[in-house]
Amino acid sequence: PRKVEAHSQLLGRRIATLGPYSPLFYREPLELVSGSGVWVSDRQGQRYLDAYNNVPHVGHSNPRVREAVAKALGTININSRYLTEQPIAYAERLLATFAPQLDRVMFTNSGSESNELALRIARQHTASDGVLISDFSYHGNTTSLAQMTTGLQVAEPLGDHVRPIRIPDVPQDASAQETASLVSSALAEVDRAIDLLTARGHRLSAVLLDPSFSTEGLPRVPVSYLRGLVERVHKAGGLYIADEVQSGFGRLGSWMWGHQRFGVDPDLVTLGKPMGNGIPIGAVVLPDGLLEEFGSRNQYFNTFATTAVPSSAAQAVLDVMADEQLAARAEQIGRALREDLTGYALTDPFVSDVRGQGLYLGIELTVAGEPAPALAGWLSEALRERGVLASRIGRHDNVMKVRPPLVFGSQDARTLASALEDALAEAAQGEWARHAAVGGRA
Ligand code: PMP
C-alpha cells in the first residue's frame, strides 16, 4: 500500500501540474530515482535492466559526462554569441566522422529543432516546399513537423506540400525477383508522389527519412530502394535529409551513421537524442555551400546551442564511444542477441520475426498470422515485472523495441533474453489474452 500511495501521490501531483496528456509508460507508471550504466532503480529499490533508452547513450550517470558537464558549468557557459572553445573542439571532432563534403555543423537543442532547420535550409535552397516522408514516421513537434507527422496522433492535418510514401518491407526469405518487384512498385509510388506535389504547385524540396525506419518498426529496406529514391529526389531538384536522431552515433553497430548502411550520402544530416547523453543538444550537418547560402541570407541565432555545457557532454560521449569501442561492441552484442532471439522466431508461436541491426532490434509479435498489439502491450508489462524495460513500435504497435544504452553487455543481453523467454512462456499459457493491454509507446 505504501508503494501505491507514494507512487500515486507523485502521479497525482504530476497530473495536477502537467495535466493528464503528457504520456507515461506502463499501466502503473514507473517512478525512477536513480540510474547507473544499463541499470535504473525505482523508489522501492527495485532495479531494472534498461533495454529501451537511447538518450543515456554511454550509460546512465556516466561519470565522464558528469565531469565534463560539471567542469563546463564551473568555468564558462554563456550565450552562444561569445567565442568559447568547447563547441568548436566538438565540431571538429564530430565532422571528422562524416563524409568530407559534410563539412559544417549548426548546433541546436533537440531533434525537432534540427529537422525544422534542415527543412528550412532545403526550402530556401530549392525555392520550393514539397516534402516526401514515410507514411508512418515521426520527426518532431514543431508546427511544420506536425504537418508531416504520420506515425503519431496530431491534430494538424498533413500539409498540402507533404506527401507520404510507403517504405518497402522485404520479407527475410524474399527471392531476388520478389525484392526487385517490391522495390520497383515502391519507386513508382515515389514518382507518383513527386508528380502529385508538382501538380499541386509544390515542387520537391526534400525527402526526410530516418535511416533506421524506427517508427515504422524496423522494416527491411533494400539498398536499391533507398538509392532509387534519392536518385529520384535529386532529379526532381530536392535534397535528401537523413534524420539520424534514432539511427546515429553507432546505434546500428557497424556504422557511425545509419545512412551509411545504404551507401548514399545525404545532403543534410540531423542529430539529437543520444548526442549529449541527456543534456539537450542537436545538430544539422551540411556542406559548406548550403551553409553559406542560408547563413548569408538569414540571421540564424540560437541562444543555448553552441555553448560549452552541451558540447562538453557531447564530447564526452564521443570520448567514451571511442575508448570503449561502443559501435563495434553494439555490432557484436547486437548480432549475438539477434541470433539468440531469432531462435524464438523459429520456435515461439507468437514471434514471427526478429529484425534490426546493432543495438536496435525489433521482435514482431503475431497471433494466428495477425499483428498482436495487445500481446505486445502485455509483454512490455510482463518484462517490467521481470525487471526489464522495453517498449514497442511499428504501424501495428506489435514490434517489441529493444534499444538499450550502447554500454549494454553480453551478460545484459542474456538477462534480457531470459526474461523474454520466461514472459513468452507465460504468454503461451494464454495469460496475456485475459488482460486488456494498455500502456504507452515511444
Ligand atoms: N526524429 C526522430 C527520428 C525521432 O525519433 C525523434 C524523437 N523521438 C525526433 C526526431 C524529435 O526529437 P526531439 O524529441 O528531441 O525533438
Q: Is the CB of 140 under 6 A from ligand 1?
A: yes
Q: State the cell numbers at 1.
A: 500500500
* 248 & 111 share domain: yes
Domain shared by 281 and 181, yes or no: yes
Which of 294, 323, 352 is the last residue before a domain boundary?
A: 323
Note whether 99 and 180 are same-domain residues: yes
- 62 confidence band (pLDDT: 50, 70, 90): very high
Output the furthest CA–CA distance in the chain (Å, rounded): 65
243 C-beta closer than 6 A to ligand 1: yes
pLDDT of residue 157: 96
pLDDT of the residue at 158: 97
Whether 244 lines ligand 1, by a CB cut-off of 6 Å, is: no
- Residue 138 C-alpha to ligand 1 middle, in angstroms? 7
The residue to mutate among 213, 246, 251, 270, having the most atoms of ligand 1 within 8 angstroms of its beta carbon, is 246
Say if ligand 1 is within 6 A of residue 110 CB.
yes
Q: pLDDT tens for residues 290-308?
A: 999 999 999 999 999 999 9
Q: Which residue has the cell 486488456?
A: 436
23 pLDDT tier (thresholds 50, 70, 90):
confident
Structure confidence at residue 7 (pLDDT): 56
Per-residue pLDDT tens digits for 331-347: 999 999 999 999 888 88
143 and 222 within one domain: yes
Give the domain range for residue 384. 2-58+325-434
The number of domains in the chain is: 2
Judgement on whether residues 272 and 143 belong to the same structural domain of the protein: yes
CA gap 379, 325 in Å, rounded: 32
How would you classify the pairing of strands 239-243 and 268-271? Answer: parallel
**286, 426: one domain:** no
Domain boundary among the residues 274, 303, 323 is at 323
Q: Are residues 8 and 148 in the same domain?
A: no
- In this predicted structure, the answer to whether residue 153 has a pLDDT above a threshold of 50 is yes
- Enclosing H/E stretch for 6: helix 2-18
Distance in angstroms (rounded) separating the CA atoms of residues 211 and 133: 12
Mean pLDDT of the chain: 95
Find out whether the beta carbon of 139 lies less than 6 Å from any atom of ligand 1: yes
CATH number of the domain bearing residue 144 = 3.40.640.10
Lowest mean pLDDT segment, chosen from 108-117, 169-178, 430-439: 430-439
The beta strands (E) that lie in 160-261 are given as 162-165, 204-209, 239-243
ipTM for the predicted complex: 0.99
Q: How many CB atoms are located within 10 Å of the residue 67 CB? A: 12
Q: Is residue 439 part of a domain?
A: no
Q: Is the per-residue pLDDT at 26 higher than 50? A: yes
Statement: residue 199 has pLDDT above 50: yes
* Same domain membership, residue 212 and residue 93: yes
> Considering the domain boundaries, does residue 441 fall inside one?
no
pLDDT at 8: 76
Residues 210-234: what's their mean pLDDT?
A: 98
Q: What is the DSSP string of 344-365?
A: HHHH-SSEEEEEEETTEEEEEE
Is 364 in contact with 373 (CB distance < 8 Å)?
Answer: no
Residue 76 CA, ligand 1 centroid: distance in Å: 29
Ligand 1 pocket residue status of 114, Cβ below 6 Å: no
| Residue 268 sits in the same domain as residue 378 | no
Q: What is the Cα–Cα distance from 412 to 387, expressed in whole angstroms? A: 12
Given 291, 323, 355, which residue is the final one in a domain?
Answer: 323
Q: Given a cut of 50, is residue 4 above it in pLDDT?
A: no
**Residue 40 near residue 60 (C-beta atoms within 8 A):** yes
